[in-house]
Chains A and B, each alone.
Chain A
Amino acid sequence: MSACTDYQVTRRRLLKMFSASILGMPVSQLLAQAVPGKGRAEHVILFWNSGGMSHLDTWDPKPGRKVQGEFAPIKTSVSGMEISEIFPQLAKQMHHAALVRSIAGTNGDHGRAQYELQTGFGQTPNILHPGLGSIVVSEREPLGDLPAFVSISGQAARAGYLGQQCEAYFVGRPGEKDPYLAFPEGISHARGMQRLQILERMNARTSGNVGANDMKATETALKDAVALMESPALKAFELDEETPQTIERYGNTEFGRGALLARRLVEKGVRFVQVNRGGFDNHGNIFQAMRDHGAVMDSGIASLLSDLKANGMLEKTLVIVLSEFGRTPRINDAGGRDHWAACFGCMMAGGGIKGGSIIGASDADGMEPAERSVKVPDLHATICHALGIDLDKEVITAQGRPMRLVRKEASPIRELFG
């Protein structure tokens, strides 16, 4: 597997820039200095909750206020931290997790807000910003044979100017066999390998005729594809190896299987896994909907956290539960809540996050951030920071435009890290 080509360009640039000082210093040492090892996270699992998940009914309950609605807050494993009753199992894992309760979003439109939350930038013409996963693929070297970025049960944000090679590998349904990872039915492995040999000879004959990077990149992608097909790590995509009890423990739902698959993938070196789920645009009947959401999500996320902790992966795996905005601190006539971007929250765990912390606070009714307002680009910077990604990194797009991966004015929530 190879990372995006930009990675190589970056190295070349670094070498150039530091050309005065590299004499006598090994390149590896130079690179280590150039990318400061700030974060401890090596992997990310992002639970993307599409539609705008109510902050009041999840991370930021307002007991005693009229806006609270049906749910009572429950105590968690962290003293003083309460979350909604829809997450009873997760509540017992909160000593691993941090809550951010003061995200100040700016956009109440699904599409635009999703774009901003996943890329850290507002939607503007003439440029397509890469999503978090693509940035991670671009900036962190791959580990193992599996694609570095996998999106489960839906699409992640696009790779934008980072190019196709930084797009997510797409898994339609967790646990289901991906037909593209093996030779077509009826073609035995031996025959498939023989075909590849024929192909290799053919390509070798033409490789001198037509040059340019396009063809080299195609060649690399071909090698990567074959390596992936041959990799024993592919087993990670299958859930058969897990006991029925484990699958049940995660909740035998698409979401639960997605969470389980996410764990299996990071164990095999996948850098970024996004597990997608929708159904949060609850303009009506929100409490029933959220109760159902809780029933599906609770066991999946809680089991994931405890398993990651048990096998030592949690320290280097940042788990995030995020949505594009929150919902109105007012219950509408249909028993629902509408879009609310001015204040919402998210949960983060692992990857060097200080468990049990609460960042920021909303006002009495969850209308506006009251303390430590966190802007969306700050959240983006926080995730990049956790992974040790250079926040000042600039890449040149195919159109020749220099672009920062993280907004200049963004700063990470440093107090989240130990």
Chain B
Amino acid sequence: MRTYPRTISLLSVSGILAIPLPALAAGPDFAAQIQPILELNCVRCHNGEKDKGGLRMDTLAGLLEGGDTKEAIVPGDPDKSELLVRLHLRPIDEGVMPDEGQALTKEEVGLLEAWVRAGALWPEGVVLTQRTPPPLKRVALPEKAPASPVEAAAMLDDILKRENASAPVVTTDPIADEAFLRRATIDLIGRIPTMAEIRDYEGQGNGRREKLVAKLLNYPRFNDRWTVFMADMLRIRSNIPGGNQLLAYIHGSIEQEKPYDVLVRELIAASGRANSNPAVGYLLGDDVNPMELASSSAQVFLGVRIGCAMCHDHPFDDWRQKDFYHFAAYFGKTRKVQGRQDGMVYTTEADDMAVLWPPEDKAAGKTREPVTPRFPFKLAKPGATPDHLLRLEKLRSGEQQVASSEKDAAALDALLDGVEPAVGSPRDPVLEEAERESRALDVHGDIYRASVLREELSKLITDPHNDYFAQAFVNRVWAELIGRGFVEPLDNFSAYNPPRNPSALEFLSREFIASGYDFRHLIRIITLSDTYRRASLPAATPVVQREESEKSFTAAPTRRMIGEVLFDSVVVAGHLADFKWPQGANEKQVSREIQVPTGEMEVGSPAAEMKEATAAPAMRGDGYDLESTLKLDFDAILTKQERGELESMRAMSDEQIEAEKMAAMNKDAQGNTMKFTTRTVTETVDDNPRFDSAMHMATPAPPAHFLRVFGQPERAGLGEFRDTSSSLRQQLMMLNGRMTHEASRVGPLEPLHRILQKDHDLAIEHAYLEILTRRPVSEELAEARALLAADPFEGMADLRWALLNSHEFRFLP
């Protein structure tokens, strides 16, 4: 804690004083009291080089001149000084300062106010320079390794408790056990629990939370849900080369419980074609551009926005542009090649390529030289190996001994796999010969050359001594489960953006490393902690108290299900994953207007224009198509197929995917490119829909799709997170969408149908459990009974519709 002597007690009455008192010239001491505040909190963004808002705060002249808004200080008059106005804003107000990092303490603001009131004395000629913040305050971590995840969770809670000891927070009670079932099921497998799961859980005795978590971690759906998480993190897009392969590869990696560090090494060091080595999709995602790859690798895997230093020294951090270039040099020899014949894309290494320094825009009159690769992040190498690394070593000692020659051969096989003809087709002797020859070649000499530099980089990034690596990932997983990260934004680790609870973050990261970077282990510790079970604060809680408590994890932030989870939860609650009506039960005549092409071409309608427009793509999305999902078959994507077919899947834009979807659904996509007339057609349909999971479709979904409306990111740029804000469109899709409607209707093939014929109260309870994972209270029961009185089936549909649309359904307990 920084403290400063309190010299002026008059501060507290400053608002009452009607006239400035120049007589109080003996204000705070500049060098001892004011300078440290400005240098620690202000000068970093407001200086001669970087003047955010047009304001310099390193000189008196800068403050007097002010920024874009107005003068920052008016000596003698704190009320007219913009600086103090901004400092007094609440943390949630717009324009509050500092806008990054910690807010100033009351004492600090008081000192600045007194200093301005006293005339803002500033010693002649002094120019302030930025001060590095003091080291983080930490609490002691347990010396003994936890014997179980439960113990680790308890240790985590204890660390947080000690870290928050002096914070102005409210600690909420843990949520009830049935709410835990709902919360954990939603978080781990991405949908609400089913009736069978509720019953099973209710039947369990002691330790049922632990058993539940263990069970959920083994669900196939766990892989689906956390593929969505990884796809957000890695910005996986189905419509770029290698996108679907990368998606399927990530899904498979989670399924196989691949350690996170191994996964990242594979991504960074990958070479070849997406067909044979799907991890190469990571490089293709950034178009194999060294600058972009450096930027995203640092930000995604290390949580450091070094990419800002691509064009200039980092404005809010200590990264220099040259650091960035050294880092980018690891990617500098990698090249994207497109085969002339088949148009397939692969990566290879080219000796004649390199990242050059100085940057092009600063190179006038200078020779640009290749930059040597250098890792800009310090690896912490203490004298004695810390306990968690000893545990990691022990864990891995048995697994590590894969002969390197064997590994190289395997890698070469992977690179060459695509050359093999499809099973059953005759072997081409020339091809066989070529293949033998290339197998004889050194791995590093082949056309699909592996990258020595990226191999080295992948090891540096994932080095257990590299604190950033584990912490960045732990921070993301924590935020996904708790609702906010230790560090926010999640990918902005910086000395100037310190975590609120550094010791808790460090503890979790160490446990993650010691477990062999076991993703499930990390989730297990978090979900078994008391912290994970915190309730939210009531609506009436004062804003600042809420903020503080949520930031310190003593109360849970309100969380809405993400789009995919909401979609799948409606499907589960409404028994839509399978037919719930007998065949033909819902046959009806449907009239609809269709647009019929007149045969005359209308150029330029959006469907005709599919190759271009990546930024503002068009999509038809008529009718209820915005709720449809088209399942991708991950297994098929990873099965090496004929060349071409999968590769042709890759370069699909949103519109093409949409067009294919239309074609699949027998929509007349061609009509869109024609002049049309409207006709009304009548047809017989058997209205008995089924809905696939939203977690297997091409990703991201087309714009305006249910998932996008509920905040699925576009994944185009770095630093784009899930948008959790609400919109009118979301409401309309839930109120009037086909999915909610069908989910509400009671189908003869679902259990509720039978119960409803026997016992209304039981049926109501069943509906509440299936949708909200709880039983109705008496008031709710009475209300529901009245609904069922006239027509039980229609009344039940009304009840279910309202439950599905309720806030309680959409927001996590």
Q: Which residues of A contact B (CB under 8 A)?
A: 1, 6, 9-10, 12-13, 16-17, 19-20, 48-51, 110-112, 114-115, 118, 123-128, 147, 153-158, 163-165, 167, 169-170, 172-173, 175-177, 179-184, 186-187, 191, 194-195, 198-199, 201-203, 205-212, 214-215, 217-222, 224-226, 228-229, 252-255, 276-281, 289, 292-293, 296, 392, 394-396, 398-402, 408
Contact = CB atoms under 8 A, between A and B. Distances in A.
Nearest to A239: B678
A157 B546 contact: no
Contacts of A252: 675, 677
Contacts of B612: 50-51, 110, 278, 281
Contacts of B736: 179-184, 229
Contact of B726 (A181, A191, A209, A221): A221
A154 B606 contact: yes
A212 B725 CA distance: 12
A317 B414 CA distance: 60
Contacts of A194: 798
B80 interface: yes
A277 B94 CA distance: 38
A157 B616 contact: yes
A165 B619 contact: no
Contacts of A398: 725
Given A206-B808, A293-B604, A402-B53, A125 B307 contact: yes
B336 to A, nearest CB: 16
B616 A395 contact: no
Contacts of A128: 714, 716-717, 720
Interface string B599-617: 0011111101101111111
Nearest to B613: A50
Contact of B609 (A12, A50, A155, A182): A50
A126 B719 contact: yes
Interface stretch (B190-198, B440-448, B799-807): B799-807
B330 to A, nearest CB: 19
Contact of A184 (B718, B723, B738): B738
Given A199-B805, A217-B725, A279 B738 contact: no
27 contacts: A16-B89, A20-B79, A50-B609, A115-B615, A124-B717, A126-B720, A127-B717, A128-B717, A155-B619, A165-B728, A172-B619, A181-B732, A202-B802, A202-B803, A206-B806, A206-B808, A208-B538, A210-B536, A215-B807, A218-B810, A220-B726, A225-B735, A252-B677, A280-B604, A292-B604, A293-B604, A396-B94
A338 to B, nearest CB: 13
Given A126-B718, A211-B539, A218-B810, A114 B613 contact: yes
Nearest to B88: A16
Contact of A211 (B100, B546, B709, B721): B546
B618 interface: yes
A321 to B, nearest CB: 13
A160 to B, nearest CB: 9
B85 interface: yes
Given A169-B728, A195-B801, A208-B540, A396 B606 contact: no
B609 A51 contact: yes
B638 to A, nearest CB: 29
Given A125-B718, A180-B732, A50 B85 contact: no
Contacts of B624: 179
B719 A254 contact: no
A191 B69 CA distance: 54
Contacts of A114: 613-616
A118 B616 contact: yes
Nearest to A197: B802
Contacts of B807: 203, 206-207, 210, 215, 218-219
A395 B94 contact: yes
B536 A126 contact: no
Contacts of A158: 714
B731 interface: yes
Interface centre among A220, A222, A278, A396 (most CB of B within 10 A): A278
A202 B71 CA distance: 52
Chain A contact residues: helix, strand, loop or mixed: mixed
B811 A210 contact: yes
A298 B119 CA distance: 67
Nearest to B537: A211
B541 interface: yes
B25 interface: no
Contacts of A392: 68
Interface in B162-186: none
Contacts of A170: 621, 703-704, 729
Given A170-B704, A180-B732, A222-B731, A154 B802 contact: no
B682 interface: no
B99 interface: yes
The 3 A-B pairs with the shortest beta carbon distances in the complex, nearest first, are: A278-B609, A279-B604, A211-B539
Contact of B558 (A199, A210, A219): A210
A123 to B, nearest CB: 7
A252 B674 CA distance: 11
Interface centre among B53, B295, B811 (most CB of A within 10 A): B811
Given A155-B703, A195-B801, A225 B728 contact: yes
Contacts of B718: 125-126
Contacts of A402: 52-53, 95, 99
Contact of A296 (B604, B614, B704, B741): B604
Interface in B786-813: 787, 798-799, 801-803, 805-808, 810-811
A226 B736 CA distance: 11
Interface string B466-480: 000000000000000
A181 to B, nearest CB: 7
Given A51-B609, A400-B99, A199 B731 contact: no
A204 to B, nearest CB: 10
Contacts of A289: 603
Given A187-B741, A214-B811, A395-B94, A207 B732 contact: no
B615 A110 contact: yes
A165 B717 contact: no
Contact of A164 (B89, B604, B709, B738): B709
Interface in B731-762: 731-733, 735-738, 740-741
A281 B616 contact: no
A93 B294 CA distance: 52
Contacts of A255: 602, 604-605
B320 interface: no
B110 interface: no
B727 A211 contact: no
B560 interface: yes
A21 to B, nearest CB: 10
B806 A214 contact: no
Contacts of A164: 709, 711, 723, 725-727, 729-730
Interface centre among B593, B621, B807 (most CB of A within 10 A): B807
Nearest to A223: B731
A198 B799 contact: yes
